[in-house]
Amino acid sequence: MKILLILVVLWPLSLSAQVHSPIITQAIDSVLEANQVPAIVAAIVKPTQILYGYGGRIRADRTDTIKATSKFHLGSNTKAVTSFMAAKLVEQGKLKWTDKLVAEVTQLG
């Protein structure tokens, strides 16, 4: 019950921290014009807020534009995200590129 109460209290705060950024949308529009990409969504995540922008069409062969509520198939991004997180840990000195994953994540061993 405590967890449910915490979620109910914190959920609206997470929504208010999301801000549509015209600067990001403008950058997306220029990338869309320069490349043959149907749509792009981008975000900058800060500790206190999320800035986001989007632009483009739902499909390359349609003229309907995407909205903030449009859904995307993300594909296989886990390797890219995992590598980014590992690079951040290396940058912070908490991990080395030569470390073995089994030694760091004991549940795998």
pLDDT given for residue 3 in this prediction: 57
7 and 59 inside one domain? yes
Q: What is the residue-level pLDDT of the chain in tens, covering all 109 positions?
A: 555 545 444 555 555 578 888 889 899 999 998 998 899 988 888 888 888 999 999 888 988 999 988 888 777 788 888 899 999 999 999 999 998 877 777 776 5
34 and 62 inside one domain? yes
79 and 91 inside one domain? yes
* Residues of the domain holding 58: 1-71
The count of domains in the chain is: 2
pLDDT given for residue 9 in this prediction: 47
pLDDT given for residue 101 in this prediction: 78
What is the Cα–Cα distance from 107 to 101, expressed in whole angstroms? 10
Give Cα separations from 23 to 15, 37, 88 (angstroms).
20, 19, 26
